[in-house]
Structure 1
Amino acid sequence: MIRINEVKLPLDHSEVALHDFVINKLSINKDQLVDIHVFKRGYDARKKNDIYLIYTLDITLKDVDEEQLLTTFADDHQVKKSPDTSYKYVAQAPKDLTERPIVIGMGPCGLFTGLILAQMGFNPIILERGKSVHERAKDTFRFWRTRELNTESNVQFGEGGAGTFSDGKLYSQVKDPHFLGLKVKQEFVAAGAPAEIIYVSKPHIGTYKLVTMVEKMRSKIIELGGEIRFETRVEEINIDDNQVTGVTLSTGEVIPSKHVALAIGHSARDTFKMLHDKGVHLEAQSFSVGFRIEHKQAMIDAARFGKNAGHPLLGAADYKLVHHCKNGRSVYSFCMCPGGVVVAATSELESVVTNGMSQYSRSERNANSAIVVGISPEDFANDPMQGIALQRQLERNAYVLGGSSYDAPAQCVGDFLAGKTISQMGDVEPSYKPNVKLTDLSSSLPDYAIEAIREALPAFNKKIKGFSNADSMLTGVETRTSSPVQIKRGKDFQSINTKGLYPGGEGAGYAGGILSAGIDGIKVAEAIALDMLNA
């Protein structure tokens, strides 16, 4: 096939416009054009009232010498040979397999580590401290309604991981030369995701669809010979002479294995401590802290898309913002959720943590995003355990500021910028459940973070008119943007000082979001399979 990149057409182009473009571009007859496959579709909204769709197309032709055609277009960056994007398994388990690999955690990284190992015949054992996704959803919604927190079954812990209660974004900036991201999306489509996630530039799924998809992927792993245990917490990873020998569960059961994938997510703080105490090499890693900001989605749509707001191909508008402050800090938007809600995301008692979530429709009245400030390891003595301590301190402080009831502290942007204590709620109604308590947010974060956010919000207003309107709502605190810990691994994906331990995903510091975590899970599975074959 022939690939044509950077095909730019008006937002409301006709149905035949793609065909006409291809025929004219390649100088072929219409009878020679067999099929046009949209590999990717995005948009250019830099001029909000003059928006274009941008396509990458794979073209099937007949009665055409493709090699000669490629020679003719050798100097044209738009026309290339379509790459092979199919996924190829790196190994197949032998029939006399005597060892089963263990996967700890069933977020996106653990899910894909387990799935790929199962597809290659290695019969993985997946251990998840939380509940199955359906039961976990019940516990999570109950907490939002009643303030009854289950510390093992919540937004952070359980089948599907933290990404289950999010916007379900499926795009990433990681390099992906082997199209592993396409494999992730294809598996999601096979499990019930909309087919469009394969080709749109900013695909998303939404929470409710993710729940049913995760269940179907679990069934697939079991059908292929995998074993999944819920409500099964790993108490200890057993290590002998720097070699993993298995795991000990909280029940006392020991499961032997020399290949353990660690896909624990960014909130398994007790597991991080256990690894640190056992001498597994951990390093401090940068993370960010801040607030969730909410605006009317209609305002964001108008600011980003102008007269094209509401167009079905554009959907609810998003944004991505960054500001470099005078005090040396950077403030940026993170995990923007169009048409979504702010959710209670704590996994520890007497703590408040926020996150954003939206459904596939993105039809809620508010847009929300984290507005966060970068925290470097130097801010917590380059000690990964101190990074966790800083997160915990801010979360417990937010709990007190919110009234010690799991309500979140909140403040209108106008009051926050003016340094006022409290006035009253404005036109933007906060969506956080159980509830919010209006208060002064200036004591909820370190002084340098408050200073930086106060500088950044008016700067963001220059990019999106109305962003720092007085009625916009801030809800605190956002602390779990990423793991404060990196579990260092080598090129073989094993811990640099613990053979047989394969750290992966967000918790280990190698991913940031559902897609990149899924990609990393595939890489971990491949590394385990190859090592098991060569053992």
Structure 2
Amino acid sequence: MLRITELKLPLDHPEDQLKTAILERLGLSAEELIAYTIFRQGYDARKRNAILLVYTVDVETKNEQAILKRLQNDPHISATPDTTYRIVTQAPKNLAQRPVIIGTGPCGLFAGLILAQMGFKPIILERGKEVRERTKDTFGLWRKSRFNPESNVQFGEGGAGTFSDGKLHTQIKDPNHYGRKVLTELVKAGAPAEILHVSKPHIGTFRLVGVVEQIRETIESLGGEIRFQNRVDDILIDNGQVRGVVLAGGETINTHHVLLAVGHSARDTFKMLYDRGVYIEAKPFSIGFRIEHPQSLIDSCRFGGNAGHPLLGAADYKLVHHCKNGRSVYSFCMCPGGTVVAATSEAGHVVTNGMSQYSRNERNANSGIVVGITADDYPGHPLAGIDFQRRLEAGAFKLGGETYEAPGQLVGDFLAKRPSTQLGTVQPSYAPGVHLCDLSSALPDYAIAAIREAIPAFDKKIKGFAMHDAVLTGVETRTSSPIRIKRNDHFQSLNTKGLYPAGEGAGYAGGILSAAVDGIKVAEALALDMIRSIA
């Protein structure tokens, strides 16, 4: 088949215009066209009153090689790549040991799925609860300020991505098309089929719950085993080789192959690994606040008179500003038509994140407005970034009144350097609630100064971004893992054979899709190493 990229048509074009555009681009008659499918559909909203749909299409036609030769200088026409996923090996029938996966976020689930499809019957250990029970615990914090340290936004089946926008786009390089494998498996598990072709696919929290359950059932049907409320408290290491894991209940599971997919908030696990001598280094991450605006304002600024068009949905944005003090401020995890959620994993701390449902029809838009920091900002041992995060989160808990309410401030008051005393037209969505105050003490001075400079700069790109009544809610500290567990070319720890750090917690991903892709890559490497060790 042939692939055409960057095929642009008006937003409300007739259905047959796409076929006509394909014929014109390839210089074909209608009789020469056999079939076509839409591989990707996005939009170009740079001219908001003349928005274009942008297509990538795969075309089946006669004489494809002749067409490729004739159009060889057209950068937007090529042969369609083969995105079919093929397993790299098959487990032997009499496998002496089973691989162990720690964590059931997108990385752990897809690593487990791939290993199960190859016949390795993985044992997957999760400290939290299965996804529906976990949802009840999470809502317990949001609605009643009742916190469970082992079952919350960060811990439990599905990982932190379950309570998010369910975004499935990424900027990682993916020459082997692992991302297509992920999307295909999600659709098989009940995700909407449109995620296979829309340019910015998302699922939303409530739909993700059912998808996660179906992936679990698939893994179990292939011989995999998933154990909930089984926290790993220790990893047995002998002469630089993994020998097994020890669970909180005292059970030991013997294995020489452990895939670590614990997410960015497993702080006790990071300390255990550090104490065991596993090589870990500090990694940059970001800190900041959540900002909320009326979604209608964002829609109008981005889409003009096309706001509300069903093909466009709720508008998003992506912003960055380089500050005079050398810091960069950027929007993070933008959630159109969503809510700000309580995302702590430790008692006496406040952490914010963003979430949307599939419909994205809540009244507010929210995103993180965060400042990049490096290990120079929290010098010390490799886990110093965790201590830094904890200080900010504990401070936010205190600023919020020590009830799990989050400290908040109107943008106008934040820019004017005065405390907020009452809300305006924007009602914050964060539950258990927002306690108005002065956020200037919630982050280091350099971060406050950078955000104060960035918001007016963002207002020049999205008029109304600096509106007085927009609400800032603190603090956002879990943008990514503060550590990296470095690995070699075989995806194993640099100094611990049989330990396979993977996903966001290990410092190798940033979002659902990239974490799932990393899980597949690492699972393949683990499987091949197991085969080599048997041989």
- TM normalised by structure 2 equals 0.99
Task: Map 1:508-519 onto structure 2 (within 5 A).
Answer: 508-519=506-517
Give the match for residue 16 of structure 2.
Answer: 16
Distance 1:410 1:349 in 2: 20
Contact 1:409 1:439 in 2 (8 A): yes
Q: Distance in 2 between matches of 1:421 and 1:196?
A: 45
Whole-angstrom CA distance in 1 between matches of 2:90 and 2:73: 42
Matches within 5 A, 1:194-233: 194-233=192-231
Task: Give the residue type in structure 2 aligned to 1:58.
Answer: D
Displacement of 1:2 in angstroms is: 0.8
Q: What's 2:120 paired with?
A: 122
Give the one of 81, 84, 96 matched to 1:83.
81
Gaps in structure 2 of 5+ consecutive residues: none
Other-structure match for 1:243: 241
Shift of residue 382, structure 1, vs aligned partner: 5.4
2:59 maps to a residue whose letter is I
CA distance in 2 between partners of 1:119 and 1:42 (Å): 33
Query: 395, 400, 404: which one pairs with 2:402?
Result: 404
Map residues 331-410 of structure 1 onto 2, 5 A cutoff. Answer: 331-381=329-379, 383-410=381-408
Which stretch shifts more, 417-426 or 233-242?
417-426
8 A contact 1:329–1:452 mirrored in 2 = yes
Superimposed CA distance per residue, residues 14-38 of structure 1 (whole angstroms, 9 cap, x where no aligned partner):
1001111111222222122121111
Q: Which residue of the partner structure matches residue 35 of structure 2?
A: 35
2:224 & 2:421 partners in 1: Cα distance? 56
C-alpha distance after superposition, 1:466-489 (max 9, x if no partner): 000100000000000000000000
Instruction: Map 1:67-82 to 2 at 5 A.
Output: 67-82=65-80
- Once the two structures are overlaid, the 10-residue window that deviates more, 114-123 or 34-43, is 34-43
Match for residue 258 of structure 1?
Answer: 256
Distance in 2 separating the partners of 1:456 and 1:78: 37
Specify the SS of the correspondent of 1:16. helix
Deviations 1:122-160 (A, max 9, x none): 000000000000000010011111111000000000000
Structure 2 counterpart of 1:507, which letter? G
Rounded to whole Å, the distance in 2 between the matches of 1:68 and 1:33 is 14
Deviations 1:60-110 (A, max 9, x none): 12xx22111111111111211111011111111111211100000000000
- Note the 1:124-523 alignment, pairs <5 A: 124-381=122-379, 383-523=381-521
Aligned mates of 1:391, 1:329 — CA distance in 2: 18
Q: Which residue of 1 aligns with 2:4?
A: 4
Deviation track 1:300-322 (CA, whole Å, cap 9, x = no partner) reads: 00000001101111100000000
Specify whether residues 382 and 285 from structure 1 end up closer, same or farther in structure 2 by C-alpha distance, changes over 3 A only. Answer: farther
Q: Is the counterpart of residue 56 in structure 1 residue 56 in structure 2?
A: yes
Looking at structure 2, the residues matched to 330 and 382 of structure 1 have their Cα atoms a distance apart, in angstroms, of 23
Aligned equivalents of 1:236, 1:228: Cα separation in 2: 18
What's the CA shift string for 1:337-368, capped at 9, x where partnerless? Answer: 00000000001001000000010000000000
1:202-254 Cα offsets, whole Å, 9 max, x none, are: 00100000000000000000000000000000010110000001101111111
**Where in structure 1 do 4 or more consecutive aligned residues deviate above 3 Å?**
none
Matched position secondary structure for 2:149: coil
Aligned to 1:103, what secondary structure does the other structure show?
strand
Q: Name the structure 1 match of 2:64.
A: 66
Letter of the 1:49 partner, please give it. N
Is the 1:284–1:382 Cα contact (8 Å) retained in structure 2?
A: no
Q: Report the Cα distance in structure 1 between the residues aligned to 2:236 and 2:398, rounded to whole angstroms.
A: 39
Q: How many residues align?
A: 533
Task: Indicate the percent of aligned positions where both proteins have the same amino acid.
Answer: 65
CA deviations on 1:358-382 (whole Å, 9 max, x unpaired) are 1000000000000000111111115
Distance 2:235 2:116 in 1: 22
Alpha-carbon distance in structure 1 between the residues aligned to 2:524 and 2:130: 26
For 2:206, what is the secondary structure of its paired residue?
Answer: helix
Q: CA deviation at 1:423?
A: 3.4
Which amino acid counterpart does residue 56 of structure 1 have in structure 2?
Answer: T
d(CA) in 1 for partners of 2:502, 2:162: 18
The SS at the match of 1:98 is: coil
Question: What is the one-letter code of the residue matched to 1:28?
Answer: L
Structure 1 window deviating more from structure 2 (376-385 vs 515-524): it is 376-385
